A and B are shown apart, each in its own frame.
Chain A
Amino acid sequence: AQTVTQSQPEMSVQEAETVTLSCTYDTSESNYYLFWYKQPPSRQMILVIRQEAYKQQNATENRFSVNFQKAAKSFSLKISDSQLGDTAMYFCAFRGNTPLVFGKGTRLSVIA
């Protein structure tokens, strides 16, 4: 069974600084998708970024980028120029031949 591990339960970062959230996963599949979702206190889960495993190029969405290391089964999220609105729970998720599997999440606090 696929597993997703987020080793940092909580992190904090100063406004305008850069922070990296870690995620590792375990799978025997070769074709899959990886996602980062953000859940602010308002509780709606918002898709931040996604990566197709067959693509070597790391995905980027404005201030959000990933470092996808397929051999190491690592999928970290980098947030640049952190903003107060980035304060939220961040979930790493994996989708292969099975439904979406989520990590336990990292609570990120952006400090003014």
Chain B
Amino acid sequence: KAGVTQTPRYLIKTRGQQVTLSCSPISGHRSVSWYQQTPGQGLQFLFEYFSETQRNKGNFPGRFSGRQFSNSRSEMNVSTLELGDSALYLCASSLYIDQPQHFGDGTRLSIL
């Protein structure tokens, strides 16, 4: 069974631009979560989706948004990029919300 797939693996953007990251969950998994990982803040929760509905949202500004499609694939979007948005963005999927999460390799976003 294929794991969680995140694309792209690396991304370089400049301040003020916007970016869209993609996550394909494990087949059959209906819950997708997103996390931001930085050396200073560690792992911080961004969003959680189940069956196309956002169930939880972390403490991030409105520039961060996401969605989940009917096939459970998810995207997150960051608008008006800032230097502080440089991070590893991890996506995780699980069968249901209370089940163990399986992570992808992440997207490394660098802002110049």
Contact = CB atoms under 8 A, between A and B. Distances in A.
Interface stretch (A11-19, A20-28, A72-80, A94-102): A94-102
B103 A45 contact: yes
Interface residues of A, number: 20
A44 B43 contact: no
Given A43-B105, A43-B106, A33 B43 contact: no
Interface residues of B, number: 19
Contact of B43 (A46, A47, A98, A102): A102
Interface of B is mostly: strand
A94 B48 CA distance: 15
Contacts of B26: none
Interface string B94-112: 0000101111111000000
Given A99-B58, A100-B33, A43 B45 contact: no
Contacts of B105: 42-44
Contacts of B102: 47
Interface of B: 33, 35, 42-43, 45, 48, 56, 58, 88, 90, 92, 98, 100-106
Interface of A: 33, 35, 37, 42-47, 50, 91, 95, 98-105
